[in-house]
Amino acid sequence: MPEQYSTQFSALRRALLERPQEVIDAAGELRDRHFGRTVTYSRKVFLPITNLCRDRCTYCTFRRSPHDPGAWTMSPEEIAGTLDRAKAQGCKEALMCLGDRPETAFPTYREWLARQGHRSTVGYVRRACELALDRGILPHTNMGLLTREEMAELKEVNASLGLMLENVSERLRGPGMPHRFAPDKDPALRLKMLEESGQLQIPFTTGILIGIGETWDERIDSLAAIQRLHERYGHIQEVIVQNYAPKPHLVKAPTSAPARQDVALTIAAARTILSPEISVQVPPNLNPGVTAQLLAAGINDFGGISPVTQDFINPEAPWPVVRELATECAAAGFDLRERLAIYRRYIESPGYLADGLRQLTHNLEAALA
């Protein structure tokens, strides 16, 4: 069982209930102290390499089995074509996002991989990352649970890696709960990957998913578990507070989204618990019209925004237009700036960036200056 931290943060828990505006104001001050009034985003292309997945989370519309309508796996030609369009649109990040280990569940997919010359999805994703690098775009891969060896391999062709912790609660894996049929959502396994990524000095993105039936104590425990790993290894570059977006046709999924104030308070809790150098990120397409409220609560990053591809996880939620988001930020007293998929402190720190990516990273960084 993951260690429990809610007792350690009992004062924060009480303040969230009794003095919520004080917590939000204090979180905003913490953000200002470290990041000033600058908020960032990454200009990315979203590459859904495959939506085949062995997990069956009750709230997911991305996941498919091979026989399902809408199942896909991108061919090398489709990957290359999408990356060409991304290059033309000035994208500097290629997000490789896909289902968890489909080769372990679907023989037809294993056969397809073999025809492509690969024994595993990791090998195929590595090739996709190489295609991105060939076009001057830095990959960031989020493909679920990976072994230490697989992360070491992908570090050679990725600026950063990611895995949403979602929640440390074992309760959410019980009967009738959202992770009941998702073996890869075992909190201990996900925490192990986060720890091993720290040992490997991989700049890492993680986060929590709110609105799937978790309690406030479980949110706090999840954020505190991330913080403890960062204290040990220093590799967490950003933490996403992702609010669940309802999918009406999923009968076993939650039917409503978290309230806006609930999102703001979770952001404030994240900013309070996490080290000041960790970016707190919120997806802007899942929170339209409340930019000022998000900024007030302590965020300093909006994550990836694509001019090329949709959000395949939440296709009903279009990306904002960057210039319009910049206008909203300016109205709230903030400057919106583009960043890379790897944060500056990891570019300069020995061991975090593969040597083969260094020149490209410096070139892209210079382009943003």
What tens digit of pLDDT does each residue of 171-221 get? 999 998 889 889 999 999 999 999 999 999 999 999 999 999 999 999 999
Is 360 part of any domain? yes
Cβ distance 281 to 28 under 8 Å?
A: no
Is 5 part of any domain? no
Is 311 part of any domain? yes
Q: Give the number of domains in the chain.
A: 1
Is 364 part of any domain? yes
Q: How large is the average pLDDT for residues 157-177?
A: 95
Segments forming the whole domain that contains residue 35: 10-368
Q: How large is the average pLDDT for residues 267-272?
A: 98
* Percentage with pLDDT > 90 across the chain: 89
Please determine, for residue 95, whether its predicted confidence score (pLDDT) is greater than 50.
yes
**Nearest-CA neighbor of 51 among 67, 31, 71?**
71
Supply the pLDDT for residue 255: 58
Which of these ranges, 127-131, 152-156, 243-247, has the smallest mean pLDDT? 243-247
Is 2 part of any domain? no
Q: How large is the average pLDDT for residues 127-156?
A: 98
Spatial neighbors of 27 by CB under 8 A, at least 6 apart, are 267, 268, 269, 271, 272, 297, 298
Q: Angle at the Cα of 27 (from 257 to 140), degrees rounded to 5?
A: 65
Is 64 part of any domain? yes
Supply the pLDDT for residue 251: 45
CA 194 to chain centre: 13
pLDDT in tens, 34-90: 999 999 999 999 999 999 999 999 888 899 999 999 999 999 999 999 999 999 999
**Nearest-CA neighbor of 52 among 113, 93, 95?**
113
Is 4 part of any domain? no
- Please tell me the number of Cα atoms within 13 Å of 176 on its side-chain side: 1
Please determine, for residue 249, whether its predicted confidence score (pLDDT) is greater than 80.
no
**Burial of residue 349, with CB atoms counted within 10 A of its CB: 0-12 exposed, 13-18 middle, 19 or more buried:** middle
Please determine, for residue 143, whether its predicted confidence score (pLDDT) is greater than 80.
yes
Q: How large is the average pLDDT for residues 133-142?
A: 98
Which of these ranges, 36-50, 106-120, 241-255, 297-311, has the smallest mean pLDDT? 241-255
Supply the pLDDT for residue 252: 59
Please determine, for residue 247, whether its predicted confidence score (pLDDT) is greater than 50.
yes
Type of residue at 16: L
Is 155 part of any domain? yes
Please give the Cα distance from 346 to 201 (Å, whole number).
Answer: 9
Please determine, for residue 339, whether its predicted confidence score (pLDDT) is greater than 70.
yes
Question: What CATH code is carried by the domain that includes residue 132?
Answer: 3.20.20.70
Backbone angles phi, psi at 212, to 5 degrees: -110, 15
